[in-house]
Amino acid sequence: MLASTRILLIIGGGIAAYKALDLIRRLRERGAAVTPVLTRAGAEFVTPLSVSALAGQKVYGDLFDLTDEAEMGHIELSRSADLIVVAPATADLMAKMATGQADDLASTLLLATDTDVLLAPAMNVRMWEHPATQRNIAVLRADGIGMVGPNSGDMACGEYGPGRMAEPLEIVAAVEDKLAAGPLAGKRIVVTSGPTHEPIDPVRYIANRSSGAQGTAIARALAALGAEVVFVSGPADTPPPGGVEVVRVQSARDMLAAVEGALPVDAAVFAAAVADWRVKSASDRKLKKTQGALPVLEFEENPDILATVAQRETHRPRLVVGFAAETDDVIDNATAKRARKGCDWIVANDVRPETGIMGGTDNAVTLITADGAEAWPRMTKVEVAARLAQRVAEALA
C-alpha cells in the first residue's frame, strides 16, 4: 500500500507514455497522491487533459509557466514528494540527468531535488545499448538513482531487445520497494546464480548440476530487505525471483560481462556454479560423428568472476561474497579460497553426496570472514538466504 505517499511523476516523450496513464491509476488505487509533470515531448504522446483527469490534479508543463511559479516554485515541487518517478525515462532525459542539465521543468526538477528518484527507462534497443546511454546509466547508478526495467521484447519501432518500459505494476512494485525502506533500501547488489553452459558446438555444451536454488533465494531475500538486485543467472532450473532485474547469460564469459555491466554496486554475491573451463575454439558447426575417430576437446580456463571483481581497482563493491562447495577440509579450503580470491566473505558448504545438499532444499554452511569461521546450523536454503541477507545489511549499514 502507498497510502498517503506523494509521488511526483515525470512523463517523458516516448510511445511508452501511454503506460504512464495506467501507472497513475495503479498508484492512486494504492492510495498514493500523484502530481504529474508532462514534458513537451511527452505531451506529443498523451494529452495534459488525460493526465490531469487521471491524477485528479493539475499537470505541470513548462518551467516558465509563471502562474505555476506563483502557486508552487519548481524547487518546492521537486522536494514535496516522497519519490520522483520518471516514466518513461527517455535516453535524452537520462543524458540530461547524467550531465546535470536543466533546460526544462522536468530536468530542472531532477537537478533541484533531494528526493529519491526512480527511472523506468524506455527507448529503442540501439539507443539503450549505445555506449553513451550505458555510460549515462553507470553515472546515474553511481549517483544513487534507482531503475526499474527496461524489459526485453518487441518494440513499437519493430525491433526486438531491451528497451521496453517496465509494466505499470512492475513500476508500482519498485515504488513500493523504494518506499518500504528496508535496511538495504538504496543499496544495489549483484547476485550470480545457476550453472554456466560452455559451448562445444552449436548444439552441445558442458554444464553442471547447479539448480540455482540458493542464488535465487539470496536474490529474493536481498530484494525483500529493500535492495535493488541485479540477478545474473545462467540457465538454471529455478525461475528467477520477482522484483529484481534479471540478466540471463549462458557462458562464464557472458556472466562476467553482465556482472561488470551491473557495476557499480554496493555488494556482490557470487552464488553461481561457474564452469572452470571452456572448450578452446568451440566449433560454429555441429561436430560430425566420423567412423573410428573421436573428437579431442582442448580446454582453456574461464575467467574467475569472483576473483576478478574482488580484485578490481575501480568500482570494487564494498562487500564481495563468494561460495565454496567443498567435499573435504571445508573450513581450511574455504579459508584459503577467501585469501586467494581476495573476497570479503566465503559461504562454505559441505557438498559430500551423503549431505543431500546439492539439488536439495537444505544447506549447512560456514561463513568465513576476516574474523574466522562461523558454523550455521543446518537449515533450508531460504533460511540461509534470509540470514545472509541480514548479515549483508549489517555490513553495509
**Which residues participate in catalysis according to the annotation?**
157
**Contact between 233 and ligand C5P (CB under 6 A)?**
no
Nearer to ligand C5P, 117 or 222 (CB): 222
367 binds ligand C5P (CB under 6 A): no
- In the structure grid, which three cell numbers stand for residue 383, read together? 533460511
For residues 276 and 24, what is the distance between their CA atoms, to the nearest angstrom? 48
Under the binding rule (CB under 6 A), the answer on residue 323 touching ligand C5P is yes
Q: Which is nearer to ligand C5P, 120 or 272 (CB)?
A: 272
In angstroms, give the least distance from the CB of 236 to ligand C5P. 13
Among 120, 155, 179, 274, binds ligand C5P (CB under 6 A): 274
Residue 167, strand partner residues: none
- From 227-235, 266-274, 357-365, 382-390, give the range in contact with ligand C5P by CB under 6 A: 266-274
290 Cα distance to chain centroid: 46
Applying CB under 6 A, among 229, 247, 272, 279 the residue interacting with ligand C5P is 272
Angle at 114 between CA 112 and CA 116, to 5 degrees: 120
Applying CB under 6 A, does 252 fall inside the site for ligand C5P? yes
One DSSP character per residue, 218-233 reads HHHHHHHTT-EEEEEE
**Which region among 90-98, 125-133, 162-170, 269-277 touches ligand C5P (by CB under 6 A)?**
269-277
- Rounded Cα distance between 183 and 390, Å, is 9
Beta-bridge partners for 11: 38
Helix (H, G, I), strand (E, B) or coil at 3: coil
The overall longest dimension of the chain from CA atoms, in Å, is 88
Residues 324-353 that bind ligand C5P (CB under 6 A): 324
- Site residues for ligand C5P, 11-40, by CB under 6 A, read none
CA atoms of 354 and 328, how far apart (whole Å): 13
Shortest CB 365 distance to ligand C5P, Å = 12
Fill in the per-residue mask, 175 to 194: x = in contact with ligand C5P (CB under 6 A), - = not in contact: -----------------x--
Candidates 119, 305, 368, 392; binder of ligand C5P (CB under 6 A) is 305
Residue span binding ligand C5P (CB under 6 A) among the ranges 21-29, 110-118, 319-327, 354-362: 319-327
DSSP 297: -
State the minimum distance, in angstroms, from the CB of residue 250 to ligand C5P.
14
185-188 long-range contacts (CB < 8 A, ≥24 apart) are: 185/226, 185/227, 186/116, 186/144, 186/146, 186/226, 186/228, 187/226, 187/227, 187/228, 187/266, 187/267, 187/396, 188/141, 188/227, 188/228, 188/229, 188/230, 188/262, 188/264, 188/265, 188/266
Nearest distance, CB of residue 391 and ligand C5P, angstroms:
16
Q: Which stretch binds ligand C5P (CB under 6 A): 137-145, 237-245, 267-275, 363-371?
A: 267-275
Among 78, 124, 302, 349, binds ligand C5P (CB under 6 A): 302
As measured in angstroms, the least distance from the Cβ of 304 to ligand C5P is 4
Which is nearer to ligand C5P, 108 or 302 (by Cβ)? 302
Whichever of 121 and 234 has its CB closer to ligand C5P, that residue is: 234
Which sign does the torsion angle of CA 248, 337, 335, 354 carry?
A: positive
Q: Where are the alpha helices (DSSP H) in the chain?
A: 17-29, 48-55, 66-71, 74-79, 91-99, 105-112, 125-129, 131-142, 168-180, 213-224, 252-262, 305-310, 330-341, 381-396
- Contact positions vs ligand C5P (CB under 6 A): 192, 252, 270, 272, 274, 276, 302, 304-306, 322-324
